[in-house]
């Protein structure tokens, strides 16, 4: 884990601003870190060198060919997201958390462009999804987060 190079930080911040109208001010107090496999974390200012920290704060994005926002990012800063939001109903929320991809009626996504979207349930930011053509939302939850939610 190293301090994130400025051009990667700018790429993440620029993408989130352009796609989700997400203002960068909420994370100004934080440090961006780069970890393996393109992962970008948001964490505190580095205060120790040895032993070297393995992980800082939360994973907020993955930067490879494109920028992929993380579920943790939306769950933490989702209330600041202004567009590319899809509201799920109870049943869709349950299915999404079991790891399924879901298809919803195109009328409900008229305002959204294909690409990464924030999923929401009763105003609660839930997760990141990948919106494809014809209302398909590809599941982006890591397998470790799949679960059967009973009460919602």
Partner 1 sequence: MDRNRTTNNTPPVFPERMTERYRSLVPDPQALTEALLQPPRRSFRVNHLKTDPATARARIEAYGCRLVPVPWYDDAFIIDRYPADSPRPEPLVLEQVLGHIHMQELASMLPPLAIRSELTTAERVLDACAAPGSKTTLMAALMANKGTIIANDKQFGRVRALKFNLERQGVLNTLITNHDLRKWPPDQLFPLILLDAPCSSEGTIRKNPHLLARWKETLYEGHSSLQQQLLLRAFDLLTPGGLLLYATCSLAPEENEGVVDILLRRRPQASLEPIHVDRITFSPGIAEFESARYDPRVTACARVWPHVHDTDGFFMARIRKS
What is the contact surface with partner 1 in residues (CB under 8 A)? Answer: 30, 42-48, 50-59, 72, 75-76, 93, 97, 121, 124, 126, 144-145, 147-152
Burial class (CB in 10 A: 0-12, 13-18, 19+), 136: middle
Concatenating the DSSP letter of every residue in 28-49 gives TTSEEEE-GGGEEEEEPPP---
Looking up tokens 């961006």 gives 32
Smallest gap from Cβ 98 to partner 1, in A, equals 11
Smallest gap from Cβ 111 to partner 1, in A, equals 24
Cβ proximity to partner 1: between 80 and 135 the closer is 80
Smallest gap from Cβ 133 to partner 1, in A, equals 29
Cβ proximity to partner 1: between 46 and 135 the closer is 46
Q: Output Rg (C-alpha) for the chain, integer angstroms.
A: 16
């Amino acid at each position: 884990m190293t301090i994130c190079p400025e051009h990667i930080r700018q790429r993440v911040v620029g993408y989130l601003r352009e796609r989700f109208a997400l203002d960068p001010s909420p994370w100004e107090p934080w440090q961006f870190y780069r970890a393996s496999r393109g992962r970008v974390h948001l964490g505190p200012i580095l205060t120790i060198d040895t032993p070297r920290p393995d992980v800082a704060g939360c994973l907020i994005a993955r930067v490879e060919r494109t920028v992929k926002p993380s579920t943790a990012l939306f769950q933490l800063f989702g209330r600041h997201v202004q567009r590319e939001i899809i509201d799920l109903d109870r049943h869709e929320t349950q299915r999404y958390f079991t790891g399924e991809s879901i298809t919803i009626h195109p009328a409900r996504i008229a305002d959204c462009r294909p690409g990464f979207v924030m999923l929401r349930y009763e105003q609660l930011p839930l997760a990141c999804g990948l919106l494809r053509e014809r209302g398909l939302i590809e599941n982006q939850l890591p397998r470790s987060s799949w679960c059967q939610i009973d009460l919602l």
